Structure 1
Amino acid sequence: MKTISAVVTGIFLFLISVSAHAQQNNTSAIEPYRLAIAYSKTTNIIFPYAILSVDRGSKDVLAQKAKGVENILQVKAAKEDFTQTNLTVVTTDGKLSSFIVDFAQQPSVLNLSLLPQESRNTIAIASESVNRQEIENCAKQVSLSEKKVRGGRDRKFGIRLKLDGIFINDGVMYLRMNIANSTHINYDIDQLRFYIRDQKKAKRTATQELEITPILIHNQTDNIKGYTDHSIVLAVPKFTIPDRKYLAIQLMEKNGGRHLELAVKNRTIVKAIPVE
């Protein structure tokens, strides 16, 4: 009986070994690209297809799609001499591209193309940016509309940021922002940016963040004078927000500390009003 048991055990272990070997043969590693980025220079990565999502290994890496272009990712360092990290990009052809990212004062490569040789410099213009005049006309209508979708507000040191209108027309979404200054100190705008972000996670998990780049900005300004307010309409490609994510709207003051941020959830985005 012991001999039979030993034989059965041996056969069982052999089958497990064969199965594991077969599984190993069916898997393959995705070799990452090496990427060196700087603090004061922007590196451009050109992909064969439109970018679907971007995942940064740490916040030391800044990444955004080039304005009005679907297949170019612009990358730079958020600080100097950061610890090695990684970057993962998924494109609309279902392909995953992985990068090991290091800091370099003077990167040897600033423009990296993953396209085939024959189309090395091809860019994919966002379809929403084709009829720019129509988008401008819609943005003007939105700026004058009395209809509202309240998307929240943030107030700090006499500055108020408010999302008071979300509109939609032919694949383009229009976000109407109002900035009010209730102080005597002029507010100089450094950045007004939009990100789709993960909700709060443990510190050791990767940060997934995708910046939404406006197609067009109507009534743009870089200064809000004391005791005035100003409305801006930003046209962006239409989007909704996946579960456990939110839209972060950041307003940053140039050479100042009055920074504001709104967190907008999907239940607000889906209330977008059609542009008449």
Structure 2
Amino acid sequence: MKKISVVVTVCLMLLTGHLFAQNTNIEITDQQTPMVMWISTNKTTNFVFPYAIKSVDKGSKEVLVQKANDVENVLQVKAAKPGFVETNLTVITSDGQLYSFTLKYADQPPVMNIRFDAKRVEKPAVLFSAKNDNEVAVNRTADIVATKERMINNRKDSKFSIAIRLGGLYIENDVFYFQIELENHSNINYTIDQLRFFIHDLKKSKRTASQEIELTPVQVVGNNKVINANSKQIVVVAIPKFTIPDQKELVIQLLEAQGGRHLLINLKNNQLVASKHL
């Protein structure tokens, strides 16, 4: 049996009163017809997508759209004037999916927060360049790593009620994914200056200068700006594959901005090569 189109589903839900709420989740599997949405001048409608927003196109200047501050997957939509002429909105997300909406005016929009679940399709509707396509794959994998249960328990450091822990280490398509757990058990926010990854000498002579090799992530997923007081969070750092030479180690260093609560984790090559494949 063919699945009913999204627009028909939403209309039926509106008629039966099931969608008249502040929040709703919508799973889109095959959007052949634009979804009808109502917006207002005095209320903001939030569209929450499963992946980062890459492109937005609105059909009229009478519609106001913006990405939420410091958030990549939330689009805020509002009417610039009451009773505007029906128009459209197109959104493309980093997983290559295209969302199409018909926008209409309503003094009291029936839905204020709309969350779209990930599409279950074999291939994306939009094809990015090779560079962007790789970014999409890395983002997808990082999202998966962020939800994994902790697999490493003995790689951690803590000081002054701040803790950093390597919860997991995975490899996929020649990219390492470090699952980093950050905790703040104090009443003071921890502003992150840097979350560094570098290789340096395991031991050095006083006469020999230590050489550090900085590793640059291709992607960081999660909040790597601040650890709020009495909270914990997971950050996933993706770094192209590498190995650690003899007599050297990998250092994961967390530095506090304008503070002294600095932490680090050390890894040797045998721990790196033991990374799990997703």
**Count of matched residue pairs:** 149
CA-based RMSD of the aligned residues comes to 1.7
In structure 2, the CA distance between the partners of 1:233 and 1:189, relative to structure 1 (3 Å rule), is same
Structure 2 residues not aligned, in runs of 5+? 1-129
How big is each residue's C-alpha offset from its partner over 1:229-259, in whole Å with a ceiling of 9 and x where there is no partner?
A: 1110000001121111100111000111100
Are residue 236 (structure 1) and residue 239 (structure 2) matched? yes
One-letter amino acid of the structure 2 residue matched with residue 134 of structure 1: A
Tell me which residue corresponds to 1:37.
none
CA distance change for structure 1 residues 128 and 196 in 2, over 3 Å: closer, same or farther? farther
After superposition, the Cα gap between the structure-2 partners of 1:206 and 1:232, relative to the gap in structure 1 and judged at 3 Å, is: same
- 2: CA distance, partners of 1:274 / 1:128: 23
Write the mapping of 1:107-118 to structure 2, written as runs, cut at 5 A: none
> Greater CA deviation, 228-237 or 149-158?
149-158
Secondary structure of 2:234 counterpart: strand
Specify the alignment match of 1:165 in structure 2.
168
Aligned equivalent of 2:192, options 189, 193, 203: 189
Contact 1:128 1:172 in 2 (8 A): no
- Is 2:146 the partner of 1:143? yes
Q: Secondary structure at 1:149's aligned position in 2? A: coil
Deviation of the 1:209 alpha carbon? 1.3
Query: Following the alignment from structure 2 to structure 1, what is the Cα–Cα distance between the partners of residues 145 and 267?
Result: 19
Runs of 4+ with >2 A deviation:
127-130
Please state how far the C-alpha of 1:165 moved relative to its aligned partner: 0.5
1:151, CA displacement in angstroms? Answer: 5.7
Could you tell me which residue of structure 2 aligns to residue 203 of structure 1? 206
Kindly provide the CA deviation profile for residues 5-50 of structure 1, in whole angstroms up to 9, marking residues without a partner as x: xxxxxxxxxxxxxxxxxxxxxxxxxxxxxxxxxxxxxxxxxxxxxx
Task: State the 1:157 CA deviation.
Answer: 0.6
Aligned residue type for 2:228: K
The aligned amino acid for 1:135 is: V
Sequence identity percentage: 40
User: Is the contact between residue 128 and residue 171 of structure 1 (CA under 8 Å) also seen in structure 2?
Assistant: no
Helix, strand or coil: the match of 2:264?
A: strand
Contact kept in structure 2, 1:185 and 1:226, CA below 8 Å? yes
For residues 172 and 270 of structure 1, what CA distance do their matches in structure 2 show? 12
Q: Secondary structure at the match of 1:167?
A: strand
Determine helix, strand or coil for the equivalent of 2:167: strand
- 1:220 is displaced (CA, Å) by 2.9
* Per-residue CA distance 1:67-118 (angstroms, 9 max, x = gap): xxxxxxxxxxxxxxxxxxxxxxxxxxxxxxxxxxxxxxxxxxxxxxxxxxxx
Q: Distance in 2 between matches of 1:185 and 1:150?
A: 26
Question: Kindly tell me: are residues 236 and 151 of structure 1, through their superposed partners in 2, closer, same or farther at Cα, counting changes over 3 Å?
Answer: farther
DSSP-derived class of the 1:134 partner: helix
Structure 1 residue 128: deviation in Å? Answer: 8.3
Q: Which residue of 1 aligns with 2:33?
A: none
Query: Structure 1's 215 and 129: CA in aligned 2 closer, same or farther, altered over 3 A?
Result: farther
* Cα offset, 1:149, TM superposition: 3.2
Secondary structure of 2:212's counterpart equals strand
- Higher RCO, 1 vs 2 (CA within 8 Å, ≥6 residues apart): 1
TM-score by length of 1: 0.52
Q: Judging changes above 3 Å, is the alpha-carbon distance between structure 1 residues 222 and 130 closer, same or farther for their aligned structure 2 residues?
A: same
Aligned mates of 2:218, 2:154 — CA distance in 1: 20
User: Matched residues in 1 for 2:254 and 2:230: separation?
Assistant: 18
SS at match of 1:208: coil
User: For the Cα contact (< 8 Å) 2:223–2:233, is it kept in 1?
Assistant: no
TM alignment of 1:222-233, pairs within 5 A: 222-233=225-236
Q: Secondary structure at the match of 2:204?
A: coil
User: How far 1:150 moved relative to its partner?
Assistant: 4.0
SS of aligned partner of 2:140: helix
Establish whether residue 260 from structure 1 lines up as the match of residue 238 from structure 2: no
Contact 2:195 2:224 in 1 (8 A): no
1:224 maps to amino acid: I
